Chains A and B, each alone.
Chain A
Amino acid sequence: MRVPPEMFRFTTGERAELYVAILHAFGEANERLETALGLDDVRARLRSVGWLDPLDDEDLTGALGSLRDWRLLDVTQNHAENYRTADEYERRNLQYSLTKRGEAALAGVVHAMGVLASTGALQTAVLDAIADRLGELVAQLGDPGVPDRRIFSTLVELEGHLEALRGNTKQFNGELQRLLRAEGADQETFREVKSATVAYLQEFTTNLEQRAHAIANRVELVEARGVALLHHRALVGAELPPTSGGDPAVAWSELRRARWEGLRAWFLPVDGGTPRVRQLFVVARRAIIALLQVLDRITESRRRSTSAAADFRELARWFAVAPAEEDLHLLWSTAFGLGSARHAHLAHPDPELVGSSARWVDAPPVEVSALLRSAGRTERFSRTGRVRDVAAVKAARAESARAERAALKAAWDRLDTGGGMRLSQFGRLDHEVLERLLDLLGRALTAAPDRHGVHRATTGDGRVEILLGPPEAHRGQAVLRTPRGVFTGPDYDVEIRTPGGRAARRPQGAAGGAATG
Chain B
Amino acid sequence: MSNLANQLVIAEREEVARAIRLLLATPLIGAGAAPEAFDLVRRRREPVEKWFDYYCGWSLIVEPRLGYARLAKVRVATDPTRPARRHRTGRAPFDRRRYTLLCVVAAELLGVPVTTVGLLADRVVQASAVDPVLPPFDTSSRAERMAFVDALRLLESVGAVDVVDGATESFVDSADAKVLYRVDATLLMRLLAAPVGASQVAVTPGRSHTDEVPLRFTELLTRLSRERRYGDADEPVSEVQRNLRLRHSVFRKLVDDPVVHRDDLTPSELAYLESPTGGQLLRRAADQAGLLVEERAEGVMLIDPDGVATDSRFPDDSGNAKVAALLLLDVITAGEGQVAVEQLRTEADALLGRFPRWAKGYRGEDGATRLVADALDVLRAFGLVRLDGGVVRARPAATRYAVTRTSADDVEDES
Partner pick for A345 among B305, B320, B381, CB 8 A cutoff: B305
> 1/0 contact trace for B271-315 toward A, CB 8 Å?
000000000000000000001111111110111111101111111
Interfacial residues, chain A to chain B (CB-CB below 8 A): 301, 304-323, 325-348, 351, 354, 356-361, 363-370, 372-378, 383, 386, 404, 439
For B304, the chain A residues whose CB sits under 8 A away are 343-345
Q: Is the CB of B310 within 8 A of A308?
A: no
Partner pick for A369 among B95, B221, B315, CB 8 A cutoff: B315
Q: Is the CB of A319 within 8 A of B99?
A: yes
For A348, the chain B residues whose CB sits under 8 A away are 294
Q: Known contacts A361-B399, A383-B307; is A376 also within 8 Å of B355 by CB?
A: yes
Q: Closest Cβ of chain B: how far from A8's Cβ, in Å?
A: 40
Q: Is the CB of B296 within 8 A of A356?
A: yes
9 closest A-B pairs (Cβ-Cβ)?
A337-B193, A333-B77, A340-B311, A337-B73, A316-B103, A312-B107, A326-B80, A310-B199, A314-B198
Chain A to chain B contacts (Cβ below 8 Å), 19 pairs = A305-B185, A316-B104, A317-B213, A320-B209, A334-B77, A336-B191, A337-B194, A339-B27, A341-B257, A345-B307, A357-B297, A359-B396, A360-B299, A360-B397, A361-B399, A370-B410, A373-B326, A373-B330, A378-B315
For B1, the chain A residues whose CB sits under 8 A away are 439
A311 — nearest CB in chain B belongs to which residue? Answer: B197
Q: Is the CB of B309 within 8 A of A341?
A: yes
Interfacial residues, chain B to chain A (CB-CB below 8 A): 1-2, 21, 24-28, 71-84, 93-96, 99-101, 103-104, 106-108, 110-111, 127, 131, 133-135, 158, 185, 188-189, 191-194, 197-201, 209-210, 213-214, 217, 220-221, 224-225, 255-259, 291-299, 301-307, 309-317, 320, 323, 326-327, 330, 355, 358, 381-382, 396-404, 407, 410-411, 414-415
Q: Closest Cβ of chain A: how far from B218's Cβ, in Å?
A: 9
- CA distance in complex: A333, B293 (Å): 25
Q: Is the CB of B24 within 8 A of A341?
A: yes
- CA distance in complex: A370, B295 (Å): 25
For A331, the chain B residues whose CB sits under 8 A away are 77, 99, 217, 221
- CA distance in complex: A325, B291 (Å): 33
- CA distance in complex: A342, B378 (Å): 12
Residue from A340, A364, A369 with most neighbouring chain B CB atoms (10 Å): A340
Q: Is the CB of B94 within 8 A of A345?
A: no
A365 — nearest CB in chain B belongs to which residue? Answer: B402
Q: Is the CB of B103 within 8 A of A319?
A: yes
Q: Is the CB of B297 within 8 A of A312?
A: no
For A336, the chain B residues whose CB sits under 8 A away are 84, 191-194
Q: Known contacts A314-B199, A323-B217, A359-B296; is A334 also within 8 Å of B316 by CB?
A: no
- CA distance in complex: A300, B92 (Å): 38
Residue from B296, B301, B330, B396 with most neighbouring chain A CB atoms (10 Å): B296
Q: Closest Cβ of chain B: how far from A463's Cβ, in Å?
A: 14
Partner pick for A335 among B194, B259, B326, CB 8 A cutoff: B194
Q: Is the CB of A373 within 8 A of B224?
A: no
Q: Known contacts A307-B197, A351-B294; is A327 also within 8 Å of B217 by CB?
A: yes
For B293, the chain A residues whose CB sits under 8 A away are 351
- CA distance in complex: A361, B402 (Å): 9
Q: Known contacts A328-B94, A338-B193, A342-B381; is A376 also within 8 Å of B185 by CB?
A: no
A340 — nearest CB in chain B belongs to which residue? Answer: B311
Q: Closest Cβ of chain A: how far from B74's Cβ, in Å?
A: 6
For B21, the chain A residues whose CB sits under 8 A away are 341
Q: Is the CB of A374 within 8 A of B199?
A: no
Q: Is the CB of A330 within 8 A of B401?
A: no
B194 — nearest CB in chain A belongs to which residue? Answer: A335
For A304, the chain B residues whose CB sits under 8 A away are 189
Beyond A312-B104, A330-B221, A344-B304: 17 further Cβ-contacts under 8 Å? A301-B185, A310-B199, A317-B209, A319-B96, A320-B133, A320-B209, A321-B213, A330-B77, A334-B225, A338-B191, A340-B26, A341-B255, A351-B292, A354-B296, A356-B297, A360-B299, A439-B1
- CA distance in complex: A395, B107 (Å): 54
Q: Is the CB of B78 within 8 A of A330?
A: yes
A356 — nearest CB in chain B belongs to which residue? Answer: B295
- CA distance in complex: A340, B25 (Å): 4
Partner pick for B83 among A329, A365, A368, CB 8 A cutoff: A329
For A370, the chain B residues whose CB sits under 8 A away are 407, 410-411
Interface of A is mostly: helix
- CA distance in complex: A70, B326 (Å): 99
A374 — nearest CB in chain B belongs to which residue? Answer: B414
For A305, the chain B residues whose CB sits under 8 A away are 110-111, 185, 189
Q: Closest Cβ of chain B: how far from A357's Cβ, in Å?
A: 6
A377 — nearest CB in chain B belongs to which residue? Answer: B317
Q: Is the CB of A376 within 8 A of B320?
A: yes
Q: Known contacts A309-B111, A315-B103, A320-B96; is A374 also within 8 Å of B415 by CB?
A: yes
- CA distance in complex: A329, B78 (Å): 9
- CA distance in complex: A367, B95 (Å): 37
- CA distance in complex: A328, B103 (Å): 12
Q: Closest Cβ of chain A: how far from B54's Cβ, in Å?
A: 17
For A307, the chain B residues whose CB sits under 8 A away are 197, 199
- CA distance in complex: A376, B355 (Å): 8
For A330, the chain B residues whose CB sits under 8 A away are 77-80, 221
Q: Closest Cβ of chain A: how far from B368's Cβ, in Å?
A: 16
A332 — nearest CB in chain B belongs to which residue? Answer: B84
Q: Closest Cβ of chain B: how far from A114's Cβ, in Å?
A: 38
Q: Is the CB of A329 within 8 A of B81?
A: yes
Q: Closest Cβ of chain B: how far from A312's Cβ, in Å?
A: 4
Residue from B96, B101, B301, B411 with most neighbouring chain A CB atoms (10 Å): B96
Q: Closest Cβ of chain A: how far from B203's Cβ, in Å?
A: 8
Q: Known contacts A311-B192, A328-B95, A343-B310; is A337 also within 8 Å of B74 by CB?
A: yes
A307 — nearest CB in chain B belongs to which residue? Answer: B197
- CA distance in complex: A336, B187 (Å): 12
A314 — nearest CB in chain B belongs to which residue? Answer: B198
Q: Closest Cβ of chain B: how far from A412's Cβ, in Å?
A: 13
- CA distance in complex: A344, B259 (Å): 8
Q: Closest Cβ of chain B: how far from A434's Cβ, in Å?
A: 14
Q: Known contacts A316-B100, A342-B310, A360-B296; is A308 also within 8 Å of B83 by CB?
A: no
Partner pick for B193 among A335, A345, A367, A376, CB 8 A cutoff: A335
For A323, the chain B residues whose CB sits under 8 A away are 214, 217
For A309, the chain B residues whose CB sits under 8 A away are 107-108, 110-111
Q: Known contacts A320-B133, A321-B133; is A315 also within 8 Å of B198 by CB?
A: yes
Q: Known contacts A312-B103, A329-B80, A340-B82; is A345 also within 8 Å of B415 by CB?
A: no
Q: Is the CB of B80 within 8 A of A317?
A: no
Residue from A319, A329, A332, A358 with most neighbouring chain B CB atoms (10 Å): A319
B315 — nearest CB in chain A belongs to which residue? Answer: A368
Partner pick for A346 among B213, B315, B403, CB 8 A cutoff: B315
Residue from B74, B77, B104, B298 with most neighbouring chain A CB atoms (10 Å): B77
Q: Known contacts A321-B214, A335-B224, A373-B327; is A359 also within 8 Å of B110 by CB?
A: no
Q: Is the CB of B411 within 8 A of A321?
A: no
Partner pick for B306 among A311, A312, A334, A386, CB 8 A cutoff: A386
B255 — nearest CB in chain A belongs to which residue? Answer: A341
Q: Closest Cβ of chain B: how far from A374's Cβ, in Å?
A: 5
- CA distance in complex: A492, B316 (Å): 69
B4 — nearest CB in chain A belongs to which residue? Answer: A401
For B72, the chain A residues whose CB sits under 8 A away are 337
- CA distance in complex: A213, B93 (Å): 75
Residue from A325, A326, A332 with most neighbouring chain B CB atoms (10 Å): A332
Q: Is the CB of A338 within 8 A of B27?
A: yes
B293 — nearest CB in chain A belongs to which residue? Answer: A351
B73 — nearest CB in chain A belongs to which residue? Answer: A337
Q: Is the CB of A317 within 8 A of B77?
A: no
For B396, the chain A residues whose CB sits under 8 A away are 359-361
Q: Closest Cβ of chain A: how far from B65's Cβ, in Å?
A: 19
For B299, the chain A residues whose CB sits under 8 A away are 360
Partner pick for B224 among A328, A334, A366, CB 8 A cutoff: A334
For B25, the chain A residues whose CB sits under 8 A away are 340-341
Q: Known contacts A317-B213, A338-B28; is A346 also within 8 Å of B303 by CB?
A: yes
